[in-house]
Structure 1
Amino acid sequence: MRQYCNRCSYPQKTCVCKHVTKVTLPIEVVIIQHPKEAAHAKNTARLIGLSTAQARIVNAADTEQMAQLKACLQPYASILLYPNDGSEALEAVEKQTRARLQQLFVIDGSWKQAYGIVKQHTWLQSIPAYHFLHAPSTRYRIRHTDIEQGLSTLEASAYAMHCLYGIDTGPFIRLQAAMQDNWLGPSHHQRKTVK
């Protein structure tokens, strides 16, 4: 029987605990996770939770948790990382907006899954949406995507915190790298190229 680490929940052979550096964030990062992502051993959302106490993961299929999020929503103190026709560049967020923020919502899933979550939970559309204008190249190499500028959930969350508050993305990126270095899955899961 495979033994799992009690802290990081990865198998003990691929434990990442020694690579965790705790980061304090000025706002809460709420990751709304598609239920299929929760089952993926390669998902990066749980790495965010290991890195900071200011992050939480909500299962998009959990109607009670989603209802609680909706009930506590303060649209003018929240932003949604979700590129769409009306979204604005996160890199250009004004100082006044940053000062009033309390929550960053990030959707964890494929583009199709994220679209479905926003359509299903229409209240998310009341939150100002933002996209990246100058996203860094991904360093996430163990999941496939056809999106050239596609970042992992961890990379997107870390870069958002960097854009908003100058938070160092290093602890997050190093933890993701350690998880990938420990990955024991099949080689065909690796991306062909990573810039």
Structure 2
Amino acid sequence: MRDKCGACKRPHSVCWCPFLPQTTITTRSRVVILQHPAEEKRCLRTVPMLELALSPGQCNVYKGKKFPSAKHTGLEELLRVPNTLVLYPSKESIPIENIPKVEEDSEPYNLVVIDGTWAQAKSMYHNSPLLHSCIQVKLPMKGESEYIIRTQPNEGCLSTVEAVAEALGILEGRHRLKHELLQPLQALCRFQIWHGAVPHQSKKTLLDIGEYRKPVGKRTRKKLYSLVDIPSVQDCKGKEPS
């Protein structure tokens, strides 16, 4: 067994902690992660980057498949607060850039983000009716994900840390915030590539150029192409559309 970092739980040779901000970042908004239980077992997950980069108490993680439940202390009250935003690309979602920016004399936002594959996130959202009553927001479509060591459904899909960094930067008008939060992710990808990982293209791109090697049914193909107009899908990794 290799010695592991006590903070990020990665082997010391690939620890990304040196790339965290020198001092934890304090934001006016609070991040609330609703995490699928399967995410906790992934060795390349990105939520720990947020937990370590943001000041204590500013990134709260609730685990489960349905929210809120009896074990989620305080979550129901938080979801009922008028300034709670759910980052999810539903038909009712509005562009996050249309939301009033956080000012010194305004109430900060609670930014709720679902952490799981696209299929898991969709199931969690539909099994959590209280989320539907919150203001739902979506991110602008911007280029490709920097999480290049995982296969995304298409170029518009982002990892959880990327989605949160983009959203906070917009809500708080702090564009450098995204740069600070994404340095550990960039380091993680470099480490993996140095150790033999290959940069991944999205499933849709591979389909477009005829290089996707697995059989794709009509239903899966339809789902992949329906994601083209979705600005962000958090941690769309693995076999799901994913």
Q: TM-score range by the shorter chain?
A: 0.7 to 0.9
Q: Does 1:128 align with 2:135?
A: yes
The match for 1:144 among 151, 172, 194 is 151
* Distance in 1 between residues matched to 2:143 and 2:162, nearest whole Å: 9
Count of equivalent residues: 192
User: How far has the Cα of 1:95 moved from its partner?
Assistant: 4.3
| Alignment partner, residue 95 of structure 2 | 89
Taking the aligned partners of 2:85 and 2:118, their CA distance within structure 1 comes to 18
Q: Which has the larger radius of gyration?
A: 2
Q: Residues 177 and 109 (structure 1 numbering): CA distance in 2 closer, same or farther, change over 3 Å?
A: same
- Flag the structure with higher helix content: 1
Q: Are the aligned partners of 2:79 and 2:130 in contact in 1 as well (CA < 8 Å)? A: no
Which 5+ residue runs of structure 2 have no aligned equivalent?
A: 203-242
Q: 1:65 to 1:143 in 2, by over 3 A?
A: farther
Instruction: Name the structure 1 match of 2:35.
Output: 33
Q: 1:64 to 1:5 in 2, by over 3 A?
A: farther
Please list every run of 5 or more consecutive structure 1 residues that lacks an aligned counterpart in the other structure: none
Match of 2:221 in 1: none
TM-superposed deviation, 1:134? 3.6
CA contact (8 A) 1:34 1:61 kept: yes
User: CA–CA distance in 2 between the matches of 1:34 and 1:131?
Assistant: 20
Q: Secondary structure at the match of 2:45?
A: coil
2:64 to 39, 57, 60: 60
Partner of 1:187: 197
Question: Any idea what SS the aligned residue of 1:183 has?
Answer: helix
Q: Identity of paired residues, percent? A: 26
CA distance in structure 2 between the partners assigned to 1:142 and 1:96 by the alignment: 34
TM-score (norm 1): 0.88
> C-alpha deviations, 1:82-134, integer Å up to 9, x for none?
01101100011124899333310011112211111111221111111001134
Contact 1:42 1:142 (C-alpha < 8 Å) held by counterparts:
no
Whether the aligned pair in 1 keeps the contact of 2:93 and 2:138 (CA below 8 Å) is: yes
| Match runs of 1:153-192 below 5 Å | 153-167=160-174, 168=176, 169-183=178-192, 187=197, 190-192=199-201
TM-score between the two structures when normalised by the length of structure 2: 0.72
Q: Once the two structures are superposed, what CA deviation does each residue of 1:61-92 show, in whole Å capped at 9, x if it has no partner? A: 48444353113433312100001101100011
The yes-or-no answer on 1:49 pairing with 2:32 is no
Q: Given that residues 141 and 156 in structure 2 are in contact (C-alpha distance below 8 angstroms), is that contact kept between their aligned partners in structure 1?
A: no
- Mapped pair 1:19 → 2:29: no
Distance in 2 of aligned mates of 1:114 and 1:186:
30
Structure 1 segments of 4 or more deviating over 6 A?
none
Q: Can you list the C-alpha shifts for 1:135-171, whole angstroms capped at 9, x where unaligned?
A: 3531110111112200110010000011111222111
Match of 2:125 in 1: 118
- Verify the 8 A CA contact 2:143 2:155 in the aligned structure 1: no
Matched position secondary structure for 1:66? coil
For the residues of structure 2 that align with 1:57 and 1:181, how far apart are their CA atoms? 27
* Other structure's SS at 2:38 match: helix
Bigger drift between 95-104 and 7-16 goes to 95-104
- SS of 1:151's equivalent in the other structure is coil
Aligned alpha-carbon RMSD (Å) = 2.3
